[in-house]
Each structure stands twice: as structure tokens, then as C-alpha cells.
Structure 1
Amino acid sequence: MPELPEVETYRRFLEEITLHQTVTAVEVFDAHVLAVDADELRRELVGATVTGTHRLGKNCFLQLSSGRLLVLHFGMTGDVGAYRHDYDRPRFTRVALHLREGLRVAFIDPRKFGRIRLADSVATFQQAKKLGPDALDLTAKQLQSALGRRKTLLKPLLLDQRLTAGLGNWIVDEVLFQARVHPERPAASVSADEAARLHAAVQLVLRTAIAQEANYRQFPASFLIHAREWDEAPEPQSDAHHHCPRDRSPIVKKYVGGRATYYCPVCQPAPPDSHSAA
């Protein structure tokens, strides 16, 4: 699933190929991904120039010369690409934007859970979708304040896009590991020092992922992500891959808030009243 780092990579790619380019045509191959009428989409896009790009959490925006924005949400399998000729069109291209200089931008989505829509501004979209601040913009003070008011378990709260936009499942596991905080800690039990560590970990994890263009196998060996079980691992993982990179303790996998969760029971001690695996 495209998370914040992937979407930031997509945004940079789109900025490189679409900035100051005029849209000359819109091809809709599958209207299932449209959250706007196809004719309205064409009226807004055709003849408009892309004047900028933005990202909020897992949403990517193309700023149009008309003042409106094209919003791309990538769902579980969404991606973007570019091509010039029909025979080069990527498989599962659902919508294509033709640019004046001949390039075509493909919105690719095999499972069709992604969505394309229009918005008047990032702020109005954020309000309508009830999204919190972007995870990269979240301040330590905002995070500490949000945690201090909640009895919710920490992991489900950090996944709540109303708190902050852009933290997905593996990212939250990595943040908690880097901060040495257990996923089942009640949010209100987090100290000021722990909240500061969590905030620093959010920055570390997201900036590392973005710098590596979301190529997770290139992450530092000190990251928990190498102990995760991936659906499409290129080769069987050795036992070493399932141990903590700090102390070699076996990594625990369990479900927290309905989501597969990985943590080190030594580095991330369980709260006193927890019945979690240790």
C-alpha cells in the first residue's frame, strides 16, 4: 500500500514532468477510480496548466492554473507513470493526462481502490476529510498534547489520520521501535520525554524512507522493518531477520487494534497492566 514516503516520491515525479505543462486531453479508461464526473474533470483539466504540487499525508495534489486542484489518492495499489505512445501505456492505467509536449501521465491502479477528485484547496480538502496535520509537519508539542488527552492504545491512535495524516501500519511499528515504546501503551501514559522520542522517530523514519525513495530493503540495518514478513519476499527470510537489530531478542508479531504489529519485547517493554506477549 502506498504510504507517505511513496506518495512523496510520486509527488516529486509528478512535479518533474507536469510543472508548467498544459493538459490537452484526459483519457478515462476506467471511471471506477473517479470521485468526480468525467465531463467535469475534463472541463477543469483540459487547457489548464499545472502550477505546483502538494502532498498531505497519503494524498497528492496538482495545483491548476484555474485555482482548483486535482487530488490523487492511491488506495492499496495506486501508482503513477509516464509514456508517449499507446503501445507503451502501463498496464492498469485507469486515467491518462495528455500534456502539450507529448508526454502522458498515467494513474495506475490494479485493484481500483484509488480515487481521483477535484478540490478547491488543500485546506478545504483537509477539513472535509477530517485529516490532521501532515506527519512531517506535526510538532512535538502537538503530538504530546494529542496523546495526553487519550486513553486509546498508542498504535491505533497513531494510525488515526485525524491525529496526523500519513502514518501507515509499518511506519507506526518502526516509529514505536525507534522510540522504544510499546504499541499497547495507553496514549495518556506517554511521558513528555517519550513523546519527544516519538516525534523524533516520526521524522527519522519518514525522512529515511523518502531519501531511499521508499525502497525499504535499502533502509539501515538498525530498522525493525527488516524483521517484518512481507507478502512478496524475493527469498526466504533467515531466522536472523526475525530478531531485534539491537539485542537479537525474537521479534513478537501480534494484532493490535486489528492490525499486524511487530515489536521487540525487550526494547519496548509492555505496560504494567498489559496482557500482551512478552
Structure 2
Amino acid sequence: MPELPEVETYRRLLDELLVPQTLVAFEVLDAHVLATPEDELRHALVGTTVTGTRRLGKNCFLELSTGQVLALHFGMTGDVGAYRHDHDRPRFTRVAFHLSNGLRVAFIDPRKFGRIRLAASQEEFSKAKKLGPDALAITAAQLQQALSKRKQAIKPLLLDQAITAGLGNWIVDEVLFQARIHPERPANSLSIEHFNALYNAVQLVLTTAIEHEAVYRYFPASFLIHAREWDISSTPETTNHLNCPIHSDTIIDKTYVGGRATYTCPVCQPPYNH
């Protein structure tokens, strides 16, 4: 699933391709991804200029010269691409934006879980979707204010997009590993030092992932993601394990927290004892 780092990579590409181009046609090849009626989208888009791009969490926004925004959510398998002729159109293109310079920008989505929606503004969209502050913009104080009175386990709370937008499952595992916090630890048991460590880990993980365009094999050896990817690549006939990058003699545990697969180091992230 495209997470915040992937979406930021898409946003930067869309910014290069679309700004400041005028949309001359809106081609719909599969309306499953449209959350706004096709005719309404075409009327709003054709003839307008894309003036900028923004991102909040896993959502990307195209700012239009009318003042409206087009919100793009990439679902499980969404991507973007560019082409000029039909025979070069990427497979699984669901929507194509035709630009005044002759280029076409594709919204690609094999599984069709992505969504394209027109909104009056990013703020209106965020309010309707009940999205919290972007994970890259949230402060340690905001994290503490939002979480310090919650009795729930910290991992499901970090996954709650109403608390902070953009943290997905592998990112939260990595953040908690880097912060040395067990995913089942109650949020209200965390100290100021823990919240500072949590904030620093969010910044480290997201900026690293964006820097490497979410290509995980290029991440530092000190990242837990390598153990996670190793396990995910296992076949039913084999069980792959990888040791903690900090404690080389300790095998990473795989459990489920809040119904989500969760990877932890039992030494770096000891269970919380009251």
C-alpha cells in the first residue's frame, strides 16, 4: 500500500508534470476510482490550470486555478505515470489527465481501491475525513497532548489517522523500534522523554524513506524494515528470520497488535510492566 513516503514521491512527480499546466481533457477509462461523478469532475477540471500540489498524510492534492482541489488517494496499489500516445499508456491506467503541452498523466491502480475526489479545499477535505496533523508536521508536544491520556496500546493509536495522518503499519513498527517503545505499551504510561523519542523517530523514519523514495533495500542497516521484508518474502515452505540490527543474537518477534502484523525486538522493546 502506498504510504506517506510513496505519496510524497508521487506528489513531487506530479508537481513536476502538472504545474503550471492547463488540463485540456479528462479521460476516464474506469469510473470505479471516481468518488465524485464523472461529469462533475470533467466540468471542474477541463480548462483549469494546476497551480500547485500538496500532501496530507496519504492524500495528495492538486490545487486548481478555480480554488478547488482534486484529492488523490492511492488505495492499495495506486501509482502515477506519464505518456504521450495511447500505445504507451501504462497498464491499469484508470484516469488520464491530458495537458496543454501534449503530455498525459495517468492515475494507475490495478486493484481499483484508489479514489479521486473534488473538494472545495484541502481543509474541507481534511475536516470531512477527520484527519489529524500530517505526521511530518506534528510536534512532540502535539503527540503528547493527543496521546498522554489514552489507555490504549500505542501502536493502534499511532495508526489512527485522526491523531496524525500518514503513519501506516510498517512505519509505526519502525518508529516504535527506533524509539525503543513496545507497541502494546499504554500511551498514558509514556514519559516526556518517550514522546520526544517518538517524535524524533517519526521524523527519522519518514525523512529517510522519502530520501530513498521508499525503496526499502536502501534504508540504513539499523532499520527494522529489513527483518520485516525478509519475513514477508518467505514462502510457505520456509520460515525466514532475521536478527535485530542492534542485538545480533536476538531474533525479531512477529505478533499481532490490534489485528495488524507487528515486528519487535524483545531486547530493544521490552514489554511494559506496571
**Could you tell me which residue of structure 2 aligns to residue 157 of structure 1?**
157
- The Cα shift of 1:242 comes to 1.2
The 2-side partners of 1:46 and 1:205 are apart by: 39
- The CA deviation string for residues 9-67 of structure 1, in whole angstroms up to 9 with x for no partner, is 00000000100100000110000100001011011110000000000000000000011
Q: Structure 1's 92 and 188: CA in aligned 2 closer, same or farther, altered over 3 A?
A: same
Q: One-letter code of the match for 1:269?
A: P
**Could you tell me which residue of structure 1 aligns to residue 215 of structure 2?**
215
CA contact (8 A) 2:79 2:107 kept: yes
Q: Structure 1's 47 and 237: CA in aligned 2 closer, same or farther, altered over 3 A?
A: farther
**Could you tell me which residue of structure 1 aligns to residue 258 of structure 2?**
257
Structure 1 counterpart SS, 2:174: helix
Q: One-letter code of the match for 1:63?
A: E
**Could you tell me which residue of structure 1 aligns to residue 267 of structure 2?**
266
Contiguous gaps of at least 5 residues in structure 1: 274-278
The 2-side partners of 1:194 and 1:149 are apart by: 14
**Could you tell me which residue of structure 2 aligns to residue 64 of structure 1?**
64
**Could you tell me which residue of structure 1 aligns to residue 78 of structure 2?**
78
The 2-side partners of 1:61 and 1:91 are apart by: 23
The 2-side partners of 1:262 and 1:148 are apart by: 23
> How is 1:219-234 mapped onto 2 (pairs within 5 angstroms)?
219-229=219-229, 233=233
The 2-side partners of 1:266 and 1:37 are apart by: 52
Structure 2 counterpart SS, 1:228: helix
Contiguous gaps of at least 5 residues in structure 2: none
- Percentage identity across paired residues of the two chains: 70
Q: Structure 1's 216 and 234: CA in aligned 2 closer, same or farther, altered over 3 A?
A: farther
**Could you tell me which residue of structure 1 aligns to residue 192 of structure 2?**
192
The 2-side partners of 1:151 and 1:115 are apart by: 34
The 1-side partners of 2:218 and 2:171 are apart by: 15
Q: Structure 1's 183 and 68: CA in aligned 2 closer, same or farther, altered over 3 A?
A: same
> How is 1:24-63 mapped onto 2 (pairs within 5 angstroms)?
24-63=24-63
Q: Structure 1's 46 and 231: CA in aligned 2 closer, same or farther, altered over 3 A?
A: farther
- The CA deviation string for residues 79-125 of structure 1, in whole angstroms up to 9 with x for no partner, is 00000000000000000000000100000000000000011111111
The 1-side partners of 2:198 and 2:216 are apart by: 20
Structure 2 counterpart SS, 1:261: strand
- The Cα shift of 1:233 comes to 3.9
The 2-side partners of 1:217 and 1:229 are apart by: 9
**Could you tell me which residue of structure 2 aligns to residue 276 of structure 1?**
none
**Could you tell me which residue of structure 1 aligns to residue 123 of structure 2?**
123
Q: Structure 1's 231 and 45: CA in aligned 2 closer, same or farther, altered over 3 A?
A: farther
CA contact (8 A) 2:231 2:239 kept: no
TM normalised by structure 1 equals 0.95
- RMSD, matched Cα: 1.7
- The CA deviation string for residues 206-264 of structure 1, in whole angstroms up to 9 with x for no partner, is 0000000111110000000000146874999996x611000121000000000000000
In the alignment, structure 1 residue 23 sits paired with structure 2 residue 23: yes
Q: One-letter code of the match for 1:187?
A: A
- The Cα shift of 1:136 comes to 0.4
The 2-side partners of 1:103 and 1:217 are apart by: 32
The 2-side partners of 1:217 and 1:41 are apart by: 39
Q: One-letter code of the match for 2:264?
A: Y
In the alignment, structure 1 residue 175 sits paired with structure 2 residue 175: yes
The 2-side partners of 1:214 and 1:100 are apart by: 31
Q: Structure 1's 231 and 25: CA in aligned 2 closer, same or farther, altered over 3 A?
A: farther
The 2-side partners of 1:18 and 1:234 are apart by: 40
- The Cα shift of 1:147 comes to 1.5
CA contact (8 A) 2:230 2:242 kept: no
- The CA deviation string for residues 137-180 of structure 1, in whole angstroms up to 9 with x for no partner, is 10100001111110010000000000000000000000000000
Structure 2 counterpart SS, 1:198: helix
> How is 1:86-97 mapped onto 2 (pairs within 5 angstroms)?
86-97=86-97
Structure 1 counterpart SS, 2:9: helix
Structure 2 counterpart SS, 1:134: coil
Q: One-letter code of the match for 2:262?
A: T
TM normalised by structure 2 equals 0.96
